[in-house]
Amino acid sequence: MATAVRLAASIPADNRDMLEQFPELYSTLRHIARRERRRNPSDTMNTTVVVNEAWLKLKHSSMQWQDEQHYLATAALAMRQLLVDYARRSAATKRTRVDDCPLFNNDCELNKTSSSILALDQALQQLEQLEPRLTRLVELRFFAGLTLPESARCLGISPRTANREWSRARAFIQTAMQS
Amino acid sequence: MLIDAASWNRVSKLFDQFATLTPAQRQQQLADLELDAATSTWLQKLLAAHDSSDTRLLDQTLNQMAADLIGAQHADAGEIPAQISGQLLGHWRVGDAIARGAMAAVFHGERADGAYEQHVAIKLLQPGPYRHSESEQLREELRLLARLEHPGIARLIDGGISTQGWPYLVMEYVDGVHIDQWCAEQKLDRRQRLQLLLKVCDAVRYAHSKLVVHADLKPSNVLVNRDGEPKLVDFGIASLLREHQRDHQDSHADVQTGLLLRCTPAYAAPEQLRGEPVSTSNDVFGLGALLYELLTGARIRDGRTVTALLLGQDPDASIIMPSQRQHTLLPAGELRGDLDAICRCALAADPQQRYRAVDPLRQDLLNHLQHYPVSARTPAKSYLLSRWLYRHRLGAAAASAVMISLLAGLTVSIRQTELANANARRAQAVQTFLLDIFDAADPVANQQNPVLVNDLLRQQQEKLRMSTTTEPLLQQELRRTLASLQNNLGNHADALNIYQNLLAELPADASPEQRADLHNLIAGQYERLGQLQTALEHAETATELVPLADKVSDTSVQALRTLASIHSELRDNETATDSLEQALQYRDAILALDNGKALLGSLLADLSEKYGMLGDTDKALTTLAEARQWYAQIYPEMHPEQAQTDAREAGIQRAAGDFSQAAAASLRAARKSRQLFGAMHTQSLRDETALAVDLAYLKCYDKAVAIYQQTVARYRELFGENNLLYANALLNLASMRRKLDDHTAALEDINNTLSIYARHGEQATDMQAYALSIKAQLLFALDDSQQALQINTEALDLMRATVGEHHPQYLRVMVSQGHLAARLQQWELAEQHLRTAYDGLLQALGPESTFTRDAAIKLAQVYQSSSDETALQALLTKTGLNHDDLATAQASTENPQPRSQCSLPEPFDLSEFALTSS
């Protein structure tokens, strides 16, 4: 919690336009991601590029972002949301159980991916209750594709602390996803 | 496998310390620590995960996964293009864009088939996870929303899923501006702003009565048109989206992230942000947020708080009260006090502390505007559901809609309670159940064949009984609700039946409180059914289960009140007074309860009634005044409890013989009830009946008849012609007509009454007996003494069975019996009846009572007529009567006095109650 307070402290109070930022950001991220997929259907997708492009686009939009760090924290959450929504949708369309998958079946890969993302989301929800900052760290690093030092800067903690917390978060998530 | 925050704290410190060590070092250090099993297990698991060489999800990059997920959605509906003008959606043609947001776009639209001209707004939602099979389900929900027809709500006209997969909604087009913008443009002052908001409250309240929650109230969803009338848009859309989303979650409960997109974090209630199911309480919060913004010009949460919310942080962060803000639209002096308190109560983080529904919020705004005290300034406390129901058993005014409003109040409250328990499945079940009632009761749908409340409730009761799917706890709650409805409608046998079953089904390990509560409710029903001995047993059981001396609680106080009331019915006002006075010794403990002031007020009010019956009018009125003082602290003047207090005052004055004062108090009670509940409510009808009784005492029979005629008509409209309350009203009318010597009409009413009672069997025996005795009087007046005697005998037999041979009422009917026999010159029979009646009355009421005296005179007349001088002399000696008394009595029977004049105190305006004069 301390992090968010510190993070929030850098933002001037009563900026009304900020309130609508999340949906807009979500929408922008999705737009860019889908465009990327259409452009390079056979390639993998660089989510960091997506996040950065959204920043460039939004920086000059009517919405005022206080700073890039605030943007990144929100974008990481939006990215998590975006992928969870996609995973949920694909889980809803294809309900084949992972174990039933024959080899080399793309649908099964997809199902594994979506169930992994959904399981991760659930583990993050558990972690949120215990240590919210670790959740933020995972979002920044995994979903927004930031490096560890970048994530540390965004959260206002030392790289050493970030490193220790990353180990802890990773071990927790691994444990929670196995159970 | 779950771990709590405290254990996590321990484990995480140890993990940091151990993670960098070698296995050998770990072993050694671990041995030195004495860890509990859970901590040790977790630590081992975390370390194992840390050491594992398996590929961890978090070590991969998201890139491939993102590509898989996003690329896979070929079949997924595309985004809404910027220009879709001219496209067809169902019957509608899309026009120019009105607004675009991230999640939806709104367009002008018109009827495509030209069937009629209609300008609409079409809202296209970003494609959600809808599949074709679900479109029917969506339509179902849209139908629910389309039921909302209110001038303050933009109507939903149509909707569905387009062939492209876009869910769309067709809504009434509102040409207006956002409410905050309107207030600013028109430079509205505080009163005008509050009045505007009151209209919004009305619309929301209406929607709640139709089981629809807005869930996303904010200035941009309240448009004000050129006439200054506010209209809510997007009603229920937020929850509609959420419902569907939830369906797709399977086991993956989504706590925060999904919600952020469905409501507006700046305005959403904390529990909404936590992902709890939507409830009416969300809208109370939303209205609070609107109020706040209209008063201060600022949102309840500033940017930094919202950022914290977006990051999943504490949504309970406290809200700065309007008067404490540095810049507000209105002077801080206008905001301090009432408006701060109203905002605080509406915006309470805990729904339990919030206004329980829109209505109390609306009432407080009204109270503030009218300079009444607002309830928010005394802290809101949690009440049991039953107490809540008690206060909200009451509906609105519309005649044919009375049962709808009765049910609606309940519906919303139950749904809310269920939702407050975060039990979405139960809430769903309740909603379905109650919607069934709605459909059956809808007066518009059933115009041809209106359903009566009673039939409806019995149907539901049966349905509930047969249902095996409903959860036991929920079943019980619903049955209690039905019972409380039945009670309010006067169907005590039905209510009793439900409570008895609930008691029988109570598990062995139920708490004494639960048990006592049901015994208390059962006692109350027996009391109302006139089976006082049985009532007494249950009330005693209840008080023994939860003795006040052991623990002062709502249940123990209520049980004692019931017991006292039954004692009083059994004409033992001394015992009743004693126990109430004893209860008052726990005054401090009672006041410490959540509803302490209300309870104490009721105890005092009960006690005042008993003092009144014991003839101590002064003490009664002082005590009642004390009760009023407590009530004044918690209730506004226009409150059911205040109306009841006026009715009690009338009772005290009536017992004291001051009928002018009684009538004045009855009039106050009747006025309040009518304003609170509307004319078509049983409470209003009861109070008007009491008013008529007082008018009759004042000999204003024609006015009483006029009132009774109205109550009779209303009961018939409400409950049909086979209802006990209707029969009782008819009986009142008959006895009043008798006073006006309108014997034929009275007899007709009585016969109707009796045939209704006959259909109700035992339940109506006491009333039947009373009606029979009046019928005998009427027949006597119509010179059919033979039949009169026969009918009176029936009355006597019934009364013996119900009230017993020593009850004054029985003895008075026996006096009539003797009198009738004397009229038929059956001297022996007459003597026998009058002698027994006289002895009984002497014992029950003493020699001074007019009834005893009346019996004595009639008996003496019989001795005179049958020339039994010895017996006559003995009687005259015993009673102190003389021959002159007998002569006077004789004269007044032979030449009845002209009817006395109505002595109504001036000014006494009855115009609102007795519109039609007979």
B75-92: pLDDT as tens digits: 344 556 666 778 888 888
Q: For residue A154, give the CATH number of its domain.
A: 1.20.140
CA distances from B428 to A41, B211, B356, B415, B517 (A): 43, 11, 20, 8, 27
Asked if B724 and B758 sit in the same domain, the reply is yes
Domain count, chain B: 4
Asked if B286 and B342 sit in the same domain, the reply is yes
B57, B102, B254 ranked by CB distance to A26: nearest: B102
Taking a C-beta distance cutoff of 8 angstroms, is the pair B207, B236 a contact?
A: yes
User: What is the CA B452 to chain-centroid distance, rounded?
Assistant: 19
Residue B133 pLDDT class (50, 70, 90 cuts): very low
Look at residue B754 and tell me if it is in a domain: yes
Range with lowest mean pLDDT among B298-312, B544-558, B637-651: B298-312
Look at residue A8 and tell me if it is in a domain: no
Range of the domain at A94: 21-178
Say yes or no to pLDDT of B539 above 70: yes
pLDDT at B520 (0 to 100): 94
Percent of chain B with pLDDT over 90: 23
Closest CA to B79 of B165, B158, B159: B165
Chain B residue with CA closest to A11: the answer is: B304
Is the model more confident about B600 or about A10? B600
Chain B residue with CA closest to A179: the answer is: B1
Q: Which of B475, B491, B507 is the last residue of a domain?
A: B491
pLDDT at A66 (0 to 100): 60
B665-708: pLDDT as tens digits: 999 999 888 776 667 667 788 889 999 988 888 888 888 899 99
pLDDT at B477 (0 to 100): 67
**CB contact, 8 Å: B99 with chain A?**
no
Query: What Rg value do the Cα atoms of chain A yield, rounded?
Result: 17
Q: Calculate mean pLDDT across residues A58-87.
A: 74
**CB contact, 8 Å: A179 with chain B?**
yes
Quick check: B303 and A7 CB within 8 A?
Answer: no
Chain B CB contacts of A14 below 8 Å: 298, 302-303
pLDDT at B411 (0 to 100): 45
Taking a C-beta distance cutoff of 8 angstroms, is the pair B203, B232 a contact?
A: yes
Look at residue B136 and tell me if it is in a domain: no
pLDDT at A6 (0 to 100): 25
Chain B CB contacts of A31 below 8 Å: 79
Q: Calculate mean pLDDT across residues B378-395.
A: 30
Taking a C-beta distance cutoff of 8 angstroms, is the pair B506, B523 a contact?
A: no
Range with lowest mean pLDDT among A31-40, B12-21, B609-618: A31-40
Asked if B745 and B886 sit in the same domain, the reply is yes
DSSP for B652-708, please give it.
HHHHTT-HHHHHHHHHHHHHHHHHHH-TTSHHHHHHHHHHHHHHHHTT-HHHHHHHH
Asked if B295 and B360 sit in the same domain, the reply is yes
Range of the domain at B283: 174-380
Question: 3-class SS at B54?
Answer: coil
Counting DSSP H helices and E strands in chain B, the numbers are 41, 9
Residue B540 pLDDT class (50, 70, 90 cuts): very high
Q: Which of B347, B380, B413 is the last residue of a domain?
A: B380
The continuous run of DSSP H or E covering B479 comes out as: helix B472-488
B56-86 in b/e form (b: 16+ CB < 10 A) is ebbeeebbebbbbbbbbbeebbeebeeebee
Quick check: A130 and B57 CB within 8 A?
Answer: no
pLDDT at B448 (0 to 100): 40
Residue B305 pLDDT class (50, 70, 90 cuts): low
Asked if B486 and B346 sit in the same domain, the reply is no
Asked if B311 and B418 sit in the same domain, the reply is no
Range with lowest mean pLDDT among B415-419, B503-507, B701-705, B903-907: B415-419
* Residues whose CB is less than 8 angstroms from the CB of residue B183 and which lie 6 or more positions away in sequence, other chains included: B192, B193, B196, B294
Quick check: B131 and A93 CB within 8 A?
Answer: yes
Give the separation between CA B640 and CA B621, rounded to whole angstroms: 20
Look at residue B240 and tell me if it is in a domain: yes
Asked if B291 and B183 sit in the same domain, the reply is yes
Taking a C-beta distance cutoff of 8 angstroms, is the pair B711, B687 a contact?
A: no
A105-119: pLDDT as tens digits: 344 555 678 888 888
Asked if B270 and B373 sit in the same domain, the reply is yes
Asked if B368 and B423 sit in the same domain, the reply is no
Look at residue B443 and tell me if it is in a domain: yes
The continuous run of DSSP H or E covering B169 comes out as: strand B167-172
CA distances from A149 to A137, A154, A160, A163 (A): 11, 9, 9, 9
Asked if B369 and B406 sit in the same domain, the reply is no
pLDDT at B586 (0 to 100): 92
* Residues whose CB is less than 8 angstroms from the CB of residue B21 and which lie 6 or more positions away in sequence, other chains included: B29
Look at residue A7 and tell me if it is in a domain: no
Look at residue B692 and tell me if it is in a domain: no
Say yes or no to pLDDT of B182 above 50: yes
Range with lowest mean pLDDT among A22-31, A93-102, B389-398: B389-398
**CB contact, 8 Å: A18 with chain B?**
yes
Say yes or no to pLDDT of B754 above 90: yes
B405-455: pLDDT as tens digits: 444 444 444 444 444 443 444 444 554 555 555 444 443 333 344 455 556
pLDDT at B312 (0 to 100): 54
Is the model more confident about B567 or about A49? B567
pLDDT at B223 (0 to 100): 93
Q: Of A11-15, B205-209, B457-461, where does the model show the most confidence?
A: B205-209
Residue A16 pLDDT class (50, 70, 90 cuts): very low
B50, B66, B260 ranked by CB distance to A171: nearest: B50
Q: Of B388-392, B610-614, B833-837, where does the model show the most confidence?
A: B833-837
pLDDT at B80 (0 to 100): 64
Taking a C-beta distance cutoff of 8 angstroms, is the pair A78, A26 a contact?
A: yes
A45-67: pLDDT as tens digits: 777 778 877 777 776 665 556 66
Contacts from B418-424 at CB under 8 Å and sequence distance 24+? Answer: B418/B474, B419/B276, B419/B277, B419/B278, B419/B279, B419/B281, B420/B279, B420/B281, B420/B351, B420/B352, B422/B276, B422/B277, B424/B246, B424/B277
**CB contact, 8 Å: A113 with chain B?**
yes
Is the model more confident about B22 or about B99? B22
Average pLDDT, chain B: 78
Say yes or no to pLDDT of B60 above 70: yes
Say yes or no to pLDDT of B543 above 50: yes
Q: Distance (Å) from the C-alpha of residue B144 to the closest C-alpha of chain A?
A: 25
B69, B303, B313 ranked by CB distance to A86: nearest: B69
Sheet holding B104-111, edge to edge: B88-89, B92-100, B104-111, B119-125, B167-172, B156-161
Asked if B825 and B883 sit in the same domain, the reply is yes
Is the model more confident about A100 or about A178? A178
Q: Calculate mean pLDDT across residues B189-195.
A: 92
**CB contact, 8 Å: A162 with chain B?**
no
Taking a C-beta distance cutoff of 8 angstroms, is the pair B488, B481 a contact?
A: no
Domain count, chain A: 1
Chain A CB contacts of B266 below 8 Å: 19
Is the model more confident about B813 or about A111? B813
Q: Which of B380, B405, B429 is the last residue of a domain?
A: B380
Asked if B359 and B472 sit in the same domain, the reply is no
Give the separation between CA B779 and CA B789, rounded to whole angstroms: 9
Give the separation between CA B760 and CA B755, rounded to whole angstroms: 9
Q: For residue B232, give the CATH number of its domain.
A: 1.10.510.10
Give the separation between CA B831 and CA B864, rounded to whole angstroms: 11
pLDDT at B404 (0 to 100): 43
Look at residue B256 and tell me if it is in a domain: yes
DSSP for B783-816, please give it.
T-HHHHHHHHHHHHHHHHHHT-TT-HHHHHHHHH
**CB contact, 8 Å: A45 with chain B?**
yes
The continuous run of DSSP H or E covering B724 comes out as: helix B724-739
Counting DSSP H helices and E strands in chain A, the numbers are 8, 0
Question: 3-class SS at B550?
Answer: coil
Angle among Cα B280, B445, B450 to the nearest 5 degrees reads 105
Look at residue B439 and tell me if it is in a domain: yes
Say yes or no to pLDDT of B22 above 80: yes
Chain B CB contacts of A15 below 8 Å: 302-303
pLDDT at B200 (0 to 100): 96
Look at residue A9 and tell me if it is in a domain: no
Look at residue B909 and tell me if it is in a domain: no
**SS3 sequence, B730-777?**
HHHHHHHHHHCCCHHHHHHHHHHHHHHHHHHHHHHHHHHHHHHHHHHH
